[in-house]
Amino acid sequence: MVLIGVLVVIVGFLLRLNPMLVVTVAGLVTGLIAHESIYSILTQFGQAFETNRYMAIFIATLPVIGLLERHGLREQAEHLVAKIKAATAGRILTVYLLVREISAALGITSIGGPAQMVRPLVVPMAEGAIEATYGEVPEDISQKVRGHSAAVDNIGLFFGEDIFIAVGAVLFMKGFFDQNHVHSEPIRMGLWAIPTAVAVFVIHAIRLYLLDKSIKRRLGKKPAQSVGSEEVVSQ
C-alpha cells in the first residue's frame, strides 16, 4: 500500500500535471498510508526543502531573475547577439556547453542552471541569433532551441563535474568501491572522466551543428533585413 505514492507519480506524469504538485501529493499519500500525521509529513517536507537548499532558489534567485527580466534582461541579450554576425544558435550553445563543462570540472557548478542562466540569458541569445538572420522565430523552432539549451546545461554539468574529485558522485563511487574492496583513488576517477567529457563535448557539438543546419533548411537562407528591403522596394 505504501507504494501507492509511486502510482500517483506515474499517473500524474502521464496526465502531464504540474510535477511539483504531483510529487507533493504523492508524498502526502505515502505518509498518510504509513500512518504518519500531517504535522510529521509537513515537517519532513520542510527539512528536505531546507537540506537541499531549494529555499534559497525561491527566495533569492527566482525573484532576482524576474526583476532583471522585467527591466529588459532578455531584450538586451537578444540585441547583443544580433550585433555578432557569425553568431548562430548552435554556436552560442556550443560555447555555453564548453563554459559549463569546464566550470563544472573546476567545481564551480552554481554559475549555470535553468533558472539562473538558461531561461534569462542562453535562450534569448540563441533565439536572438536566429531572429537576426531569419526574422521572427516560429514556435516549433523556439521550443526546439529551448530544449537544446536545457540539454546543454544538463550535459555540461553532468559530465563536467565528474572530473572534480570532491563532487558527490565521485565520492559516492569511491565509497562503493571501498565497500567492495576495490582500491581506487578519486584523482584517478577524475582523470578517467576527462576522455568521456571530451567525447561528449565533440558529440554534442556535432548535434548543435546539425541544429543550425535544420534551422537553415526550415527558415531559408535569406536574411530578414534583405526581405524587408525588398518589401520596401516593391511598395
Would residue 121 count as lying in a domain?
Answer: yes
CA torsion sign for 128, 95, 119, 152 is positive
One-letter identity of residue 166: A
Which pLDDT tens digit goes with each residue over 204-226?
A: 999 999 999 999 998 885 544 44
In a domain, 209, yes or no: yes
User: What's the total number of domains in the chain?
Assistant: 2
**Alpha-carbon distance 204 to 198, whole Å?**
10
Q: Does 13 lie in the same domain as 116?
A: no
Q: What is the pLDDT of residues 11-69, one digit of tens each?
A: 887 887 777 678 788 888 888 888 888 888 778 777 765 555 544 554 555 555 565 55
Check: CB of residue 147 under 8 Å from CB of residue 100.
no
CA distance 96 to 94: 5
Q: Which three cell numbers, joined as nine digits, stand for 95?
A: 560555447
Residues 20 and 101 in one domain: no
Give the model's pLDDT for residue 234: 44
Asked whether residue 22 is domain-assigned, the answer is yes
Q: Are residues 14 and 104 in the same domain?
A: no
Report the percent of the chain where pLDDT is more than 70: 77
Residues 47 and 60 in one domain: no
Higher pLDDT, 232 or 154: 154
Could you tell me the residue range of the domain that residue 13 belongs to? 4-51
In a domain, 37, yes or no: yes
Please check whether residue 118 lies inside any domain of the structure.
yes
Q: What is the mean pLDDT of residues 92-103?
A: 94
Greatest mean pLDDT range, 73-82, 150-159, 164-173: 150-159
Is 77 contained in some domain? yes
pTM of whole model > 0.95?
Answer: no
**174 and 209: one domain?**
yes
- Do 71 and 17 lie in one domain? The reply is no
Q: Note the pLDDT tens digit of each residue in 162-180.
A: 888 777 777 777 777 888 8
* Cell numbers placing 96: 555555453
- Whether residues 25 and 61 share a domain: the answer is no
Task: Determine the Cα–Cα distance for residues 1 and 213; give it in Å rounded to an integer.
Answer: 51
Does 230 fall in a domain? no
- pLDDT at position 108 is 85
- What is the predicted pLDDT for the residue at 181? 83
Structural domain contains residue 226: no
Tell me: do 151 and 67 sit in the same domain.
Answer: yes
**Cα–Cα distance for residue pair 62/68, rounded to 1 Å:** 10
Identify whether residues 102 and 63 lie together within a single domain: yes
43 & 62 share domain: no
Name residue, grid cell 552560442: 92
Q: Are residues 68 and 180 in the same domain?
A: yes
Same domain, 68 and 12: no
